[in-house]
């Protein structure tokens, strides 16, 4: 079945450090790929998405590129801020068929000043 694997957390960085959170997926065809973020005490929010191979999603300084050849969608940010502290979830929606999102387990990021 379809699945998403993302790097285990927690991840702790200093402000202005470079961030990478790895995400790989298993699915047939060309799923849509998403990164959601959950800030402390808040609900899930869509951070960025990509719907076809080689697309790059970007938002708030975060980027992720849909790599079909490596079935990956790694999240990156060049310079993190304290306000980026949150839990990040990688997710996919399969091509055709079900409308459900399949999520990774989440990666907790803490950014220290």
Partner 1 sequence: GAGVSQSPSNKVTEKGKDVELRCDPISGHTALYWYRQSLGQGLEFLIYFQGNSAPDKSGLPSDRFSAERTGGSVSTLTIQRTQQEDSAVYLCASSLQAGGREQYFGPGTRLTVT
User: Residues interacting with partner 1, by CB under 8 A?
Assistant: 32, 36, 42-46, 49, 51, 89, 91, 93, 98-106
Min dist CB 111 to partner 1, Å, is 23
Enumerate the β-bridge partners of residue 58.
63
Q: At 54, give phi and psi (nearest 5°).
A: 75, 0
Phi then psi for 55, rounded to 5 degrees? -65, 145
Question: How far is residue 33's CA from residue 51's CA, in Å, rounded to a whole number?
Answer: 6
Q: Closest approach of Cβ 3 to partner 1, in Å?
A: 11
Tokens of 62: 């975060």
Q: How far is the CB of 44 from partner 1 (least distance, A)?
A: 4
């Amino acid at each position: 079945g379809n699945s998403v694997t993302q790097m285990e957390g927690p991840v702790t960085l200093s402000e202005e450090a470079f961030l990478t959170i790895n995400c790989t997926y298993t699915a047939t065809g060309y799923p849509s790929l998403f990164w959601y973020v959950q800030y402390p005490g808040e609900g899930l929010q869509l951070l960025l998405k990509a719907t076809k191979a080689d697309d790059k999603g970007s938002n708030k300084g975060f980027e992720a590129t849909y790599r079909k050849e490596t079935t990956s969608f790694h999240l990156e940010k060049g310079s993190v801020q304290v306000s980026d502290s949150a839990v990040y979830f990688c997710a996919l929606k399969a091509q055709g068929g079900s409308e459900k999102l399949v999520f990774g387990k989440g990666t907790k990021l803490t950014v220290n000043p």
